[in-house]
Amino acid sequence: MPDSQVLTSRQGAVLTLTLNRPTALNAFTTVMLVQLREALEAAAADKQVRCVVITGAGRGFCAGQDLSDPAIKPGFEPGDLPKDIGALLDSCYLPLALCLRAMPVPVIAAVNGVAAGAGANFALSCDLVLAGQSASFIQAFGKIGLIPDCGGSWLLPRLVGRARALQLTLLGDKLPAAEAQTMGLIYRCLPDAELAEAAQALAQRLSLLPVLALAQTRQAFDAAGLMDYETALKQESLLQSRLGFSADFQEGAAAFLQKRAAVFTDR
Ligand code: T3D
């Protein structure tokens, strides 16, 4: 679709989604939020897709919620009523964030430029975050009177600890990609010119692995964060029991014993 706010392209088993409003640094409109969720849902339903890459068109990754979108734009006239931002979160951000976190395949964010507000937290919710050296992450919420959303309140303290999460969110400073890597917020910072190729290479590599187990690893980590040690051990037994019956495990173990490359097919 030429006027789509989310472009899709396929290379083998890797689907790339490109946020496509470059003149507004790919800020999220309600249309884009819906299109992005629908594209992820379609990828989840397509057994041929084994890894997803998400990136941005132009010089930005995503500047967060489009503040001029009619769904939230403040009125400038006396008597104009504020919009219910929580309703937008419930109807658009929450289903998108839950869909991303439940993807049956790994999802890579290739952060090609600034990622601000919900754009930053959406990227950080992906499984592996690569960023170009000119990219940056901004918890822009505090400066406009909001709290971190799109999963940020849950994710940030878990990723970098409470002190750093508060530093990032209360000050709202631009965090360069290299510092984000040093801090453990993202997987890797790369030269800008290498980002797209590195993201595709990483995605191709993941697509050859047993993606069912990779996606369940993410889900186990997320769930274990809310469990005590013994409950987490029991969760491991349960998941491992299911995976033990999977074709991928039979294939992986057989390939190891037969000294050959494994071919994984489960989704
Ligand atoms: O439901 C809800 O609404 C709640 C959800 C909230 C989630 C959120 O994401 S809240 C945070 C929203 N985002 C921001 O506050 C960030 C606003 N943007 C910026 O601070 C800056 O644009 C950046 C630091 C990200 C980049 O700065 P710079 O100097 O590289 O670019 P720029 O010139 O500011 O922006 C380029 C264009 O993009 C510009 O348009 P123009 O003047 O060329 O026509 C700018 O207005 C537009 N743009 C950037 N961010 C947004 C935006 N337009 C609408 N909404 C934006 N968020």
β-bridge partners, 54:
17, 109
186-198 burial string, b = 16+ CB within 10 Å, else e? bbebbeeeebbeb
Look at ligand 1, atom 21, and give the residue with the nearest C-alpha: 63
- Rounded to the nearest whole angstrom, what is the distance from the C-alpha of residue 107 to the centroid of ligand 1? 25
Whether 183 lines ligand 1, by a CB cut-off of 6 Å, is no
Question: Across the beta sheet with 60-62, what order do the strands follow?
Answer: 60-62, 114-116, 136-138, 174-176
Q: Distance, CA 37 to ligand 1 centroid (Å)?
A: 21
Ligand 1 contact, 32 CB (< 6 A): no
Q: Looking at residue 1, what is its pLDDT?
A: 54
Of 25, 90, 93, 112, best ligand 1 pocket probe by most atoms within 8 Å of the beta carbon: 25
Of 104, 109, 108, 106, the residue nearest 47 (C-alpha): 104
Which tens digits make up the pLDDT trace of 32-67? 999 999 999 999 999 999 999 999 999 999 999 999
pTM of the model: 0.96
pLDDT, tens digit, 9 for 90 and up, residues 7-21? 999 999 999 999 999
The pLDDT tens digits of the residues spanning 145-201 come to: 999 999 999 999 999 999 999 999 999 999 999 999 999 999 999 999 999 999 999
Could you tell which of 67, 112, 155 is best to mutate to test the pocket of ligand 1, judged by most ligand atoms within 8 Å of the CB?
A: 67
Ligand 1 contacts CB of residue 116 (under 6 A): yes
